[in-house]
Amino acid sequence: MKVTQEVLPDSQVGLAIEIPADLSQKTYDQVLNKMMRTVNVPGFRKGKVPRQVFLQRVGVPQFKAAVIEELVQNAVEKAIKQEEIEAIGNYQLKSSFEELISQYEPGQPLAIQASVDVPPRVTLKTYKGLSVQAEEILPDPEQVDTTLAKYQNNMATLVPIEDRPAQAGDVAVIDFVGKVQNESGEFEEFQGGSGTDFQVELEEGRFIPGFMEGIIGMALEEAKDIEIPFPDDYSQAELAGKPAVFSITLKEIKEKELPDLDDDFAQEISEFATIEELRTSLTERYQEEATEKTKANKDAALIEALVEHLEAEIPNTLVQKEVDFLLTQTIMQLSRQGIDVNKMLTRELVDGMRQRTRPEAIERLRRTLALGEVAKQEGIKVEEEALQAKIKEAMAEVEDPSQIDPDRLTQVLTEELLQEKILAWLEEVNTVELVPEGTLQPEPEAAADLDEALESDTVESEAADAQTVEVEATEVEATEVSAAGASAGKSKKKAENR
């Protein structure tokens, strides 16, 4: 079979294929025999229908279409094998299908045009002698005290108060009814705007502006109206910027009595016997986190510099595969948040998600290709001994080994180890200058553009719209005292069967 190749953009190869007469006739006969055995024609048993009757029943154009589909599929597959082309994904037929049907005659040669995606064509102009900057992250000297203070607050005992008004830091129990101004100027109750025996902490930033301030200073059993507008950027569009009034009755005032920061406190919230051991553990943990963030900044700076010197044609097959991966990750994340994605995801929404995700998918592929080219040029590989040790470490974190796909785990850990080796090598042959945190922040105009991009419609924002008024802000979660095995844990999650 004569095949002429043509190099096409976006890492494609064009194929001009001349299908010989014998293959044309053979495919015609195969499709005819197969269809005649399966198609029902009244008055005839299957397989006993005369050819002319069968063609009249099915229709010559429809039958030719079936032959062309089979012929093109076989011809492209043979051409790929014959020319030893490393094709990925499905072929694309460039010839007009309708014209092929009109031109086709069994036992006669047929010329077709097709294209196939091939692995990315990659050129990395340089990857040595680069100079980059990365922000150095230093641990916050007050972070340990801040963490312990949060735990103190969470462990506090609530003591009823009857001889003074409510003040900042107290816990108040209230009844409230919220009303919002409608188009006619009247105030009416709205869904989710009322509560009974509602317990709130009187701390700044935990409520819509003005709500907390209105409660501070109220006496026990006092009732009052607080007139405050909803913020213009409030999450529920139907309430944003509208005047509102909350009728509040203060039923209880409780004062927080904090526990002492002593050995008993340390034993209560951690596995440590003394408060000093707990402090030391937290100090070491935050130092490790700062070191990891600094390393991540260095890695990101090196990868960004590599990508600037990368020329790559990426086939659409790989882009779509990466888009599907990112989309799946987003859907899984929404499901873990308790969102019914089956009800939420419409075809239009998914198409929009795909379109928005495509640029990110391409950038991820470019980073991967840049690192892969370094490994290829320098012969960087993962040693089997190191891989097996990593697998053993990851499996030690697994409670149920049956939930782990061993092949997927091996793939994930191989990729992680290889990337670590590549980046370590890059750091040795390039210069990374550490600069203070905040030095490399984007310019104000660029930052504004970034904020605008982040505020664009995303499936997360659509799914997260609250169905009730969020009078109280999200509670501050206490920081964990001890760090889990993050690296092994991440690898385990990636390898879990879903």
Domain ranges of the chain: 2-118, 157-257, 290-495
CATH topology match: 2-118 vs 157-257: no
CB under 8 Å, gap of 24 or more: what pairs does 350-359 form?
A: 352/457, 353/327, 353/458, 353/459, 354/323, 354/327, 356/456, 356/458, 357/323, 357/326, 357/327, 357/330, 358/319, 358/323
Please say whether the structural domain 157-257 has been given the CATH code 3.10.50.40.
Answer: yes
Q: Which CATH architecture has domain 290-495?
A: Orthogonal Bundle (1.10)
CB 497 within 8 A of CB 403: yes
Ramachandran region, residue 201 (left: φ > 0; alpha: ψ -120 to 50; beta: rest): beta
| Residues facing residue 485 across a β-bridge | none
Whole-number pLDDT of residue 443: 61
Residue 484: phi and psi, rounded to 5, are -85, 170
Among residues 280, 309, 322, the alpha carbon closest in space to that of 89 is found at 322
User: Cβ–Cβ contacts within 10 Å for residue 360, how many?
Assistant: 12
Q: Residue 401 and residue 415: Cα distance in Å, rounded?
A: 21
- Cα 430–486–286 angle (5° rounding)? 75
How confident is the chain (498 residues) per 10-residue block, as mean pLDDT?
93 95 92 81 72 81 91 94 93 93 92 95 95 96 95 92 92 94 90 90 84 92 93 87 94 94 94 96 97 96 96 94 92 85 84 93 96 96 94 89 88 94 96 94 56 44 38 35 38 46
- Does residue 13 sit in helix, strand or coil? strand
Give me the half-sphere count of Cα atoms (radius 13 Å) on the Cβ side of residue 99. 8
Element (H, E) at 227: strand 223-229
Q: Are strands 171-181 and 157-160 parallel, antiparallel or unpaired?
A: unpaired
Whole-number pLDDT of residue 47: 65
CB 137 within 8 A of CB 231: no
Q: What is the CATH number of domain 2-118?
A: 3.30.70.1050
Q: Residue 3 and residue 15: Cα distance in Å, rounded?
A: 7
Whole-number pLDDT of residue 203: 86
Tokens 């990857």: give the residue.
127
Q: Residue 165 and residue 257: Cα distance in Å, rounded?
A: 17
Q: Residue 3 and residue 423: Cα distance in Å, rounded?
A: 43
